[in-house]
Amino acid sequence: MRVADAVDAHASAKDVLLEYGLPCSECIVAFHESLAEGCAALRLNIDEVVERLNALA
């Protein structure tokens, strides 16, 4: 899933991403980069981030 799609799916997703140091939801990268790519670049655990995002639903 692209970062922009995650942010569009739930208003609080942006806040969760910022907690993990992923400010890319606020720039053009959000429309091209997947959550996995963003997490990999920062060496974050994608499963943990996705679990937090899924909890919003």
Q: Residue 51 burial by CB count (10 A; 0-12/13-18/19+): exposed, middle or buried? A: exposed
Is a pLDDT exceeding 90 seen at residue 45? yes
pTM over 0.95: no
Residue 25 has pLDDT above 90, yes or no: no
Separation between Cα atoms, residue 54 and residue 16, nearest integer Å: 11
Q: Bigger pLDDT: 25 or 8? A: 8
Task: Provide the 3-class DSSP secondary structure of residue 10.
Answer: coil
- What is the structure's pLDDT at 13? 93
Q: pLDDT averaged over the chain?
A: 90
Q: Is 3 in contact with 35 (CB distance < 8 Å)? A: yes
The span from the CA of 28 to the CA of 52, in Å, is 23
